[in-house]
Structure 1
């Protein structure tokens, strides 16, 4: 069986590409929806959901690479002539559907791959080449945009696939011609010499349209439902005003580090530098829990089994600022998800006149706050959650 196409038949390589991709699509689409809908109420369900998503992503990468090979081969090889060249509208429609299908086979897996690379989270791709992509930053905004493109482009894929299958059925059942046999067995058919125009420009325009629509609609899809419940935190009266800062967390999920941060929090700080050990001030921090972003697992993290952001929209940390032998500590109580636990946060402090730079770090045990009780295996989700704070503050009325 010849490898290359002829004017009247598909070669073995084109047919291998076609049927491998077809098999991959038939598995990938339902696998993605099953993974999306799978519950994650306990460790076993979470492990299954992770495996389903990993399988979906790995298969998507394989289909993407196959699609690139199929498109290249379609460009450099002759396309077998249409069996009904007199039906120009039908031929043009078939060409457009083919190239729309090719475009979707690139956009769908590539957008999902970029989303995966742009964020932290569970479900790694099963291969030895890492989880990142060149030139793709770790960016929740980019991940959200690509999630939207992925969501929209999947319907382009489904639509093109339905039309493609419908056309094949029509040729087999109504026209009773050799179109399907030509792809299934490599059977030659048709009269060479007829004109056969392509529809690549139409497909490229369609692909660009999907990308533009996806980018423009990013704010409308895959938004976190919990974010609408985010409390509006009032500015805190403070002797020191935070000019810039980050409040972030870090944990290990399925063997991979996942980092996130709270976008909205306030701090009321009273502090007077002193050389002698003892109390140097107080701090009262209020945190908007729904403002958390935690990679691709943000929605799950804010759900009832974890932070329960709808029921417990704020957390607070009230502490004394203590001058200790090797630096400073914030010694107080963290109120989170209805639980109160003592917490000590060691921190370093650099003073330059009325400007202070502070970096602190401590480790919490999520089990003390009833977070992720359904995940009792630390191999799936670490018990330890590292809290990091980095801020610059100026004394009120200072320069």
Structure 2
């Protein structure tokens, strides 16, 4: 009678050409727990309502946890890749099955790359957006060389989503392969990674470049799909949604109309892409003491406010579908060393008096203007489901900067 000796278990930290050490197995199972955790948190947070203070706080916390787990995956994956690069690669148990072995290697390369690319793209999306859900760590929320840019952030978010799909597909193929080895082949593939089983000497160990090249091609295709699906930068047309009726003797050459709000204790700044100004201004005072008039029309739906743009333009706040345009009409007056635009603001069906102080520099027919004012969202019945400032602040800081040229 022949007694079969059970395969040995490897307890060393390092790999061999036939078995995995406990360090690589630890990396593998840590990532195996982190990936579904990150996916579940992201899906639940995305689908969760945010129509009350408590709901918004829960949604933000889940997104913060999702981002934090994602960044953790990034660093764990980097450590695993560096460790694997320093170790022998255990050979396949069935090297004679060339197509199957090549496919398994391709899937492994896709997983390795995705574990770095997916969280990195998500991190970059977070860093470039005016987000409301911070990463839960003390090292800051930005990344070098990545500015706050709504269009760039939208592109990165799309790429993050597309590359995530590649990762999920590779993960499912990896799981299917594991099931096949366990239930069809009944070999020790799973046990090598689970318990460190060493099946004995194997041939064909090493890393092959063809599967890596295939993975690079798939990533390049994913990049192309992501860029194609990405929203194009918003540009306001010459007339746009915003329109003014007052006469103007100045043409705005460039400018920015921005708002800053407090959300969950953090400042979030956004800009309106579509707004127009009709300016009638002279340095010499008129008979009534004014220096001219201004009318500013703003397409409320053109606001980009980081990750909460849809919420800001929705029914609870700007209600852009019902009130597509806000209008500020004012008389321009001298105000000591500076100036003031004294008039009324019509926003969301409410008309209120408004004084906007500003500075003005004139130079050979060109004017550079900068001003700002703070509004209270409650004045316009905005965010009534957020009755305190625990989630959304009451104050809305409005700032305008522009350069205009006097018409001949």
Per the normalisation by structure 2, the TM-score is: 0.91
Deviation at 1:231, TM superposition (A): 5.2
Match in the other structure for 2:218: 206
Q: Equivalent of 2:152, from 139, 142, 159?
A: 142
Deviation at 1:283, TM superposition (A): 1.1
Match in the other structure for 1:290: 301
1:279 counterpart SS class: coil
Runs of 4+ more than 4 Å apart: none
2:307 counterpart SS class: coil
Match in the other structure for 1:259: 269
Deviation at 1:72, TM superposition (A): 1.9
Q: Equivalent of 2:82, from 64, 72, 75?
A: 72
Kindly indicate whether the alpha-carbon contact (under 8 Å) linking 2:53 and 2:390 is maintained by their aligned counterparts in 1. Answer: no
Match in the other structure for 1:218: 230
Deviation at 1:299, TM superposition (A): 1.8
Give 5+ residue unaligned stretches, structure 2.
Answer: 1-10
Q: Equivalent of 1:17, from 4, 15, 27?
A: 27
List per-residue Cα deviations over 1:246-268 (Å, max 9, x = no partner): 11111222222211111111111
Match in the other structure for 1:396: 407
Match in the other structure for 2:352: 341
Kindly indicate whether the alpha-carbon contact (under 8 Å) linking 1:81 and 1:190 is maintained by their aligned counterparts in 2. Answer: no
Distance of aligned partners of 1:26 and 1:13 in 2 relative to their CA distance in 1, 3 Å threshold: same
Pairwise CA RMSD:
2.1
Single out whichever of 375-384 and 58-67 deviates more from structure 2.
Answer: 375-384
Distance 2:347 2:253 in 1: 25
Distance 2:264 2:169 in 1: 35
Kindly indicate whether the alpha-carbon contact (under 8 Å) linking 2:17 and 2:205 is maintained by their aligned counterparts in 1. Answer: no
Deviation at 1:234, TM superposition (A): 4.4
1:310 counterpart SS class: coil
Distance of aligned partners of 1:38 and 1:301 in 2 relative to their CA distance in 1, 3 Å threshold: same
Distance of aligned partners of 1:183 and 1:387 in 2 relative to their CA distance in 1, 3 Å threshold: same
Deviation at 1:16, TM superposition (A): 0.5
Give 5+ residue unaligned stretches, structure 1.
Answer: none
List per-residue Cα deviations over 1:221-261 (Å, max 9, x = no partner): xx99xx99x95334764122212211111122222221111
2:398 counterpart SS class: strand
Match in the other structure for 2:8: none
